[in-house]
């Protein structure tokens, strides 16, 4: 399997990489990614600039710097979506309390 981009959650990447070899058949995977990927641009933060800075000095991004940039970007993305789900659940519970009418006096 050749992956050309990372997903917003590392869990999805691991699931897809795990599916490249099934039922006893060996499988391999390779991720060919760029620091200009959308997830790194949006959620990469300081680690994206670290990797870009190393690329300008060394003309190549070390593997650890690229992994760190993608790890941080996926972590930031997961935190953002987790917060959105939590806020949606709180809003739903608030609406449920406001619109509830059970007929019982509490």
Residue ranges per structural domain of the chain: 2-99
Helix, strand, coil shares, percent, the chain, to 5:
60, 5, 35
Beta bridge partners of 30: 2
Alpha-helical regions (H) of 44-62: 46-58
pLDDT by residue for the chain (106 residues), tens digit each?
788 888 888 888 888 887 777 766 777 878 888 888 888 888 888 877 887 788 788 877 788 888 888 899 999 999 999 999 999 999 999 888 888 765 555 5
CB atoms within 10 A of CB 28: 9
Specify the pTM: 0.71
């Amino acid at each position: 399997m050749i992956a050309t981009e990372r997903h917003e959650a590392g869990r999805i990447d691991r699931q897809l990489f795990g599916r490249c070899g099934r039922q006893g058949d060996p499988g391999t995977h390779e991720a060919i990614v760029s620091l200009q990927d959308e997830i790194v641009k949006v959620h990469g933060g300081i680690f994206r600039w670290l990797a870009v800075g190393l690329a300008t000095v060394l003309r190549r991004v070390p593997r650890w710097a690229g992994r760190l940039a993608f790890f941080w970007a996926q972590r930031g993305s997961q935190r953002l979506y987790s917060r959105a789900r939590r806020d949606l659940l709180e809003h739903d519970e608030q609406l449920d309390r406001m619109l509830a009418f059970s007929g019982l006096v509490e």
